[in-house]
Amino acid sequence: MIYHHNLNPAIFKLGPLEPRWYAVMYLVGFAVSYFMIAGNPKSKAVGLTQDDIMDWLTYGFFGVMLGGRLGYVLFYNLQMYLQNPLDILAIWKGGMSFHGGMLGVILASYLYFRKKKLPVATMWDIVALPVPLALMFGRLGNFINGELWGKPTDGSWGVVFANSGGGDMPRHPTQLYEAFLEGILLFAILWGANKFLKLKPGSLGGLFLLLYGLGRSVVEFYRLPDAHIGYLYGGWLTMGHMLCLPMILGGLGLLVYFNRPGAPTATDTTANPAPAET
């Protein structure tokens, strides 16, 4: 049955106070990440403290914001921002790139792991596991906002996003596709691999990048390209496809690197855990 989207992005309105579901979803994603990392036995094995986790989340937050904004500027609208450089700071006007945000988180995380002398490969595995669930909550927030909808569809699962500019035709609810592929399914695969497979440290991080890139590439066929960019080739290739390719290749590269002959095993990385802070 066709669903007509009429969800209110605001939880309630009290004078100037108008909290949004999207912001709540982000907070839930951060909370889930914190508790999953804190409860991971590997965190204790490497000497990760609760303060370390909060510090990493702070690094990750700024990595998302800076990387997401710079990624959008560089990948999606560089010419406009070169002509109006001060608009780069106008984040309230919108314009964030997920792929840029992901790159920002990876860089910020690497710097933090090195600063705290934490085993980088094992830390990739620890932080990769909760990320799909955090992404799922973010995509649910997109759906509530009625944004990032896809192409028109004849399927009975289509959603009409008339209130947010989607017109009267049913469209692919690509936010929900991503919530499933990049969230629930990816988490289930990573959880199963972590529990049942004897992976070398770092493998889970590589697997996350590979599978996220593949899942996002599939959804790109149903999403609409950015209006000011359009399709890059053949009426199907989008900028999202192009940005997923480095993730797929990077994930494959990490899997090969971390599983090369002589690479450290889980026993090697936890035999001498880092001392806890006092």
Per-block average pLDDT, block size 10, for the chain (278 residues)? 92 86 90 95 93 93 89 81 80 75 91 94 95 94 93 95 94 97 97 93 96 96 88 91 95 94 71 42
**122 within 8 A of 201, measured Cβ to Cβ:** yes
Residue count of the chain: 278
Token digits for 92?
Answer: 């309230």
Token digits for 60?
Answer: 């990750």
Name the 3-class secondary structure at 16.
Answer: coil
What do you get for the CA distance between the two ends of the chain, in Å?
58
Q: Can you give the pTM of this predicted structure?
A: 0.87
pLDDT reported for residue 58: 92
CA geometry: angle at 233 spanning 229 and 100, to 5°? 50
pLDDT reported for residue 82: 82
CA distances from 97 to 121, 140, 195 (A): 26, 17, 32
pLDDT reported for residue 278: 30
- Listed in sequence order, the DSSP H helices in 179-236 are 186-196, 203-220
pLDDT reported for residue 277: 40
